[in-house]
Amino acid sequence: MSFPWANEYKPSHPLMQWMDEKLPLPRLVYNAVGSGYEVPRNLNYMYNFGILAGLCLMIQIISGVVLAMHYAPNTLVAFDSTEHIMRDVNWGWMLRYGHANGASAFFIVIYAHIFRGFYYGSYKAPREMVWLLGVVIFLLMMATAFLGYVLPWGQMSFWGAQVITGLFSAIPLVGDPLREWLLGGFAPDNAALNRFFSLHFLLPFVILGVVILHIWALHINGSTNPTGVEVKTKSDTVSFHPYYTAKDGWTVGLFMLIYSAFVFFMPNALGHPDNYIPANPMQTPAHIVPEWYFWPFYAILRAFTVDFLIVPAKLMGVLAMFSAILVWFFLPWLDKSPVRSAKFRPLYRKFFWVLVLDVAVLAYCGGAPAEEPFVMISQIASLYYFLHFFVIVPIVSSIERPDPLPFSITESVLGHDGQSALGAKA
């Protein structure tokens, strides 16, 4: 948000002045991520994940475009072309490991970013649109990640494609024709692999477009902050540059250290060994699991083991899995608490931490084989997940008595605010 006290872009160099008249791109950057953008001064490290997500998207797009120069989307050679990248292409192993682990890094970052939003009420008015676009990005990411995992045409690629497209066949009446249309056949094969490659290449650029909208919408009202109190005066903010560029800068270094540790020293730790076996449509692996970032939702899918009313179990699972994410679209209207930050919402805060634990349990169960006790645990965990978003959040926001809020961001940082004394007098 452009607060009245924000710095104005004043190019001194004639060339920059000329540029500013013809195409004010430097001005745009200055006002978006430069000294002209005023940001709450009290953002903590949880607010760094946005920029890291942007970095991950760039890593994925760049490494992906480069990998596409060597990969061949044909069932006969896809697996071999992947190995060709790993063995013969200059630095190919680094590009591929960087891309595969980049997907994991992207999801870790995005989950932290989403849960930051849950905790600090980032989804609330007037920032609903930022949130809605964020959920769209997450859905696109899931689709892109799934499509990408199919490309090496290993066992997990093939059976992942089989199972996930199988979800669509649960839809009554149109399910089977829909699945056949998606795959371009009766089972995953060349037609599917080719279109998956095409879409896997396309979707990241769609994501990039929505990310730009997401940031645009964010700049309309500016960032939230850990207190949830809106910016009041100049002393509540600092300029994005140099304060947050510096903070983001060093956390980017920290992120790169962790990410590189995976790429160079344990590149297969997050993958599944079965995907180094070429796809075999005649033999299913003993345990099919998606990549770890889908485990919580996979656990929800598998938790529905019995038919309910007129809905068959399979359809229940699919409905539940999609509802588990789609409910986030309604969050700004389900949570009617006027207080944003969970810091001042004692009851909601407790449920938030239960949710964190709950999703961790779901993730663990999603990666475990479909046996007891994991099935029962995932059912109980799914139960909490649905209660949390559909029932607890609306009810808690109505009955909760929030703690007193600080007068301003400045007061929360410095312990006093000249303005608040004035305010009290008035």
Partner 1 sequence: MIRIFSILVGAFFSLALLLAVLTGAYSYVTEPPAKTVEATFYEHPEKLALASDGVFGKFDRQQLQRGFQVYKEVCAACHSLKHVAFRDLSALGYNEAEVKAIAASYTVNAQDPLTGEFKDRPGMAADKFPPVVYAGKGVPPDLSLITKSRHGGAAYIHSLLIGYSEQPAELIKAFPDAKTPDGLYYNRYFPTLNLSMPAPITSEGQVTYGDGTKATVDQMSADVSAFLVWTAEPELEKRRQTGLWWMGFLLFTTVLAYMAYRNIWAEKKGH
Partner 2 sequence: MAEDAGIDTPTLAVEAGVRRRDFINIAAVSAAGVGGLATLYPLISQMSASKDVLALSSTEVDISAIEPGQAIKSIFRKQPVFIRNLTPAEIAEADKVDVASLRDPQTLAERTQEGHENWLITMGVCTHLGCVPSGVADGEVKGEYGGYFCPCHGSHYDVAARIRKGPAPLNLQVPEYTFLSDTVVKIG
Q: Which residues are catalytic?
A: 219, 223, 247-248, 291
With CB under 8 A as the contact rule, the residue among 185, 209, 249, 418 that binds partner 1 is: 249
Backbone CA torsion sign across 244, 250, 255, 260: positive
Q: Is 238 exposed, middle or buried (0-12, 13-18, 19+ CB in 10 A)?
A: middle
414 binds partner 2, rule: CB under 8 A: yes
**Among 15, 306, 399, 422, which residue sits at the site for partner 1 (rule: CB under 8 A)?**
306
Cα–Cα dist 394/332, whole Å: 10
Contact of residue 277 among partner 2, partner 1, none (CB under 5-8 Å per partner type): partner 1
Which partner from the list partner 2, partner 1, none does 127 bind, CB cut-off 5 to 8 Å by kind? none
Tokens 């494609």 correspond to: 161
Evaluated on CA atoms 360, 247, 345, 219, the torsion sign reads: negative
Asked if residue 33 binds partner 2 (CB under 8 A), the reply is no
Rounded Cα–Cα distance for residues 358 and 378 (Å): 9
Instruction: Find out whether 77 and 111 touch, Cβ atoms under 8 Å.
Output: no
Q: Residue 139 or 238: which CB sits closer to partner 2?
A: 238
Which pairs with CB-CB distance under 8 Å and at least 24 residues apart come from 49-52? 49/109, 49/110, 49/112, 49/113, 49/116, 50/113, 51/248, 51/251, 51/252, 52/109, 52/251, 52/252, 52/255
Is 249 a residue that touches partner 2 (CB under 8 A)? yes
Single out the residue of 1, 16, 46, 62 in contact with partner 2 (rule: CB under 8 A): 62
- Which one, 46 or 238, has the nearer CB to partner 2? 238
**Which of 15, 69, 309, 310 touches partner 2 (CB under 8 A)?**
69
Binding at 234: pick from partner 2, partner 1, none (beta carbon under 5-8 Å per type): partner 2
Closest CA relative to residue 38, chosen from 70, 4, 12: 4
From 50-58, 98-106, 331-339, 341-349, span contacting partner 1 (CB under 8 A): 331-339
User: What residue 320 binds from partner 1, partner 2, none (CB within 5 to 8 A, per partner kind)?
Assistant: partner 1
- Sign of the Cα torsion 13, 15, 18, 20 reads negative
Q: How far is CA 304 from the centre of its chain?
A: 25
* Segment contacting partner 2 by CB under 8 A, of 44-52, 91-99, 220-228, 262-270: 91-99
How far apart are CB 252 and partner 2 at their closest, in Å?
8
Task: Among 115, 243, 329, 352, indicate the residue that binds partner 1 (CB under 8 A).
Answer: 243
46 binds partner 1 (CB under 8 A): no
User: Residue 379, interface with partner 1 (CB under 8 A)?
Assistant: yes
Give CA–CA dist 103/121, Å, rounded. 26
- Chosen residue from 105, 145, 218, 303 binding partner 1 by CB under 8 A: 303
Q: Is 274 in the site for partner 1 (CB under 8 A)?
A: yes
Is 86 among the residues that bind partner 2 (CB under 8 A)? no
Q: Does 41 bind partner 1 (CB under 8 A)?
A: yes
The answer to whether 213 and 133 are in contact (CB under 8 A) is: yes
According to CB under 8 A, which one of 163, 210, 375, 405 is a site residue for partner 1? 375
Query: What is the Cβ-side half-sphere exposure of residue 399, based on CA atoms within 13 angstroms?
Result: 7
Q: Which does 68 bind (CB under 5 to 8 A by kind): partner 2, partner 1, none?
A: none
DSSP string, 132-144: HHHHHHHHHHHHH
Q: Of 4, 12, 13, 87, which lies in the binding site for partner 1, with binding defined by CB under 8 A?
A: 87
- When CB distances are held under 5 to 8 angstroms depending on the partner's kind, the choice from partner 1, partner 2, none that residue 1 binds is none
310 near partner 1, judged by CB under 8 A:
no
Tell me 292's DSSP state.
G
Told to check if 76 binds partner 1 by CB under 8 A, we report: no
Task: Yes or no: say if 363 and 296 are a contact pair by the CB < 8 Å rule.
Answer: yes
Residues in contact with partner 2 by CB under 8 A are: 62, 66, 69-70, 84, 87-92, 94-95, 234-235, 238-239, 246, 249-250, 253, 414
